[in-house]
A and B are shown apart, each in its own frame.
Chain A
Amino acid sequence: MTAHPPPMALLAELTHRCPLQCPYCSNPLELLKVNAERDTNFWKAVIDEAAALGVLQIHFSGGEPTLRRDLPELVAHARGAGLYTNLITSAVLLDEARLRALAEAGLDHVQVSIQGADAESADRIAAYAGAHAKKLEVARLVPKLGMALTLNAVVHRQNLDRLAEIINLAVELGAGRLEVAHVQYHGWALVNRAALIPDEAALARADAIVAERREALRGELVIDYVLPDLHADLPKTCMGGWGSRFINIAPDGRVLPCHAADSIPGMSFERAGERSLGEIWDASDAFQRFRGTGWMQEPCRTCERREVDFGGCRCQALALLGDATATDPVCHRSPHHARIRETALAEAAAPPPEFRYRRP
């Protein structure tokens, strides 16, 4: 048993490698190379430890997790340990044979990303010719092979006007769930913020479409809608609270409270296998650092919402203010809120600059 309530979910970042180059990639600016990746036995041991700890769901993620040849073996191992298995993929490297192998390994759920409603713009955003058509081909097979399908669309000023078509696409492909997620400006996404951030009118139109379609499709399609931060007045409960629900393991085996925690200077992360996952969860500096409310400054410290949103996102406070212990400036109580918002909306009002891709 752990002293803190055990984690619900494990995000297993098997690799940072990815054939796509989405300009809003939330992975760090510096990606880990293939030689830093851990082997099959490492991940199997992690899975066993996580299941024993109380983890219920495993998200195989990356980078592009299907680049790992041992993926079916890891899925089977996780399923054998009782975990709910979820694959987060771009789908461009999958085909029917590979997908069937994953289904036979016991994969429960496949989450396929799309970059837009039409091939031309989606392939431009992903910087990968033919990606969109391939994604649709693979996504269509997922429910046919008996797995749940989620379509995951990250939305921004260059695809938000086609949101209604994206929703129709999810229905047509047989998805049970659609995630419409506004860009979170971490990692590479921050580099492209001005090219991505929508103005308030576009956001209001999108909100209305989601509300209307969600009601019309009740019972057929679940639509999860992740609101944009910089237009908001209250911060998100990042990760459901630091060290509260999620455990994230990077490709090199480091155990992180969130996949972006790496960006916070002065943090050190222990490696799975060198200490038990339960001890790392309970007692490591990284997980204790922002757990609960003891680390907070004002205005968080005395705020009645401090145990609702836990001060918002630490990485965002760092990225926008240079201080990971500050109130997330998305919050209207942050003294920096008005300035940050004004800058963001000014970017949204100006014409979008060209995307900057990871591999120019």
Chain B
Amino acid sequence: MTALALEAVPRLKPGVRRRYDAARGQNILLAPERVLVLDDIANAVLEKLDGATTIEALCAALAEQYETDLEIVRADVLELLTDLRDKGMITV
């Protein structure tokens, strides 16, 4: 599978939804026959998938928000988005 391009726009696939699970106190991603528990970072990334923001812009916003080095954010975000793409939860 090809690596993700930083100028690509990731979005949730149809039939994939993020919500808060009050009974268990966690953010989750719901997909066909899947429930994925999101940690705070994954949730912060997915919050920013609006169908218009590029991966690069998303990383820049996160780096600023968390006052973290952009290179580190990029590596984490690309790893997360690649995993979600391979699981069929996002398109890029």
Contact surface of A with B, Cβ cutoff 8 Å: 1, 6, 8, 53-54, 56-57, 82, 84, 86, 108-109, 111, 143, 146-150, 176-177, 179, 218-222, 224
Q: Judge if B51 is at the interface, Cβ distance under 8 Å.
A: no
Interface of B with A (CB < 8 Å)?
A: 1, 13-17, 19, 21, 23-24, 28, 30-33, 35, 85-88
Q: Which of A53, A149, A179 contacts B23 (CB 8 A)?
A: A53
Distance, CA A133 to CA B67, complexed state (A): 56
A146 to B13: give the CA distance in the assembly, Å.
Answer: 9
Check A148–B15 contact: CB distance below 8 A: yes
Interface core residue of B17, B21, B31, B88 (most chain A CB under 10 Å): B88
State in angstroms the CA–CA spacing of A22 and B35 once bound together.
30
Complex: A222 Cα to B19 Cα, angstroms: 22
Query: Taking the nearest CB of chain B, how far is it from the CB of A315, in angstroms?
Result: 21
Identify the closest chain B residue to A55 (Cβ).
Answer: B23
Contact between B35 and A57 (Cβ–Cβ < 8 Å)?
A: yes
Q: Which residues does chain B contribute within 8 Å of A109, judged by CB atoms? A: 15, 32
Complex-state Cα separation, A56 to B86, whole angstroms:
23
Chain B contacts for A108, CB-based, 8 A: 15, 17, 30, 32
List chain A residues, Cβ under 8 A from B13. Answer: 148, 176
Q: Which of B14, B15, B28, B86 has the most CB of A within 10 A?
A: B15
Residues in chain B near residue A143, CB distance under 8 A: 14
Given contacts A56-B21, A148-B16, contact A8 B32 (CB under 8 A): no
Chain A residues with CB under 8 Å of B24's CB are 6, 54
Q: How far, in angstroms, from A147 to B88 measured CA to CA in the complex?
A: 14
Please tell me if the beta carbons of A148 and B21 are within 8 angstroms of each other in the complex: no
Pairwise interchain contact B23-A6, C-beta atoms closer than 8 A = yes
User: Quick check: A84 and B17 within 8 Å, CB to CB?
Assistant: yes
Q: Can you give 26 A-B contacts (C-beta < 8 A)?
A: A1-B23, A6-B23, A8-B35, A54-B23, A54-B24, A56-B30, A56-B35, A57-B35, A82-B19, A84-B17, A84-B30, A108-B15, A109-B32, A111-B32, A146-B14, A148-B16, A149-B15, A176-B13, A176-B32, A176-B88, A177-B32, A218-B1, A219-B1, A220-B88, A222-B32, A222-B87
In the assembled complex, the Cα of A111 lies from the Cα of B88 at a distance in Å of 15
A222: which of B17, B30, B35, B88 is its contact (CB, 8 Å)? Answer: B88
Shortest beta-carbon distance, A167 to chain B, in Å?
A: 14
How far does the alpha carbon of A108 sit from the alpha carbon of B17 in the complex, in Å?
A: 9
Per the bound structure, the CA–CA distance linking A218 and B35 in Å amounts to 19
Q: Which residue from chain B places its CB closest to the CB of A110 in the assembled complex? A: B15
Closest B residue to A52 by beta carbon equals: B23
* B28, A148: Cβ atoms closer than 8 Å: no
Q: Most chain-B CB neighbours within 10 Å: which of A6, A53, A147, A219?
A: A219
B49 to chain A, nearest CB (A): 16
Cβ contacts under 8 Å, B86 to chain A: 218-219
CA distance A89 to B14 in the complex (A): 19
Query: Are A177 and B88 closer than 8 Å at their CB atoms?
Result: yes
Taken together as a complex, chains A and B put the C-alpha atoms of A222 and B24 apart, in Å, by 27
B23–chain A nearest beta-carbon distance, Å: 3
In the assembly, what is the distance between CA of A224 and CA of B32, in Å? 11
Complex CA distance for A54 and B21, rounded to whole angstroms: 8
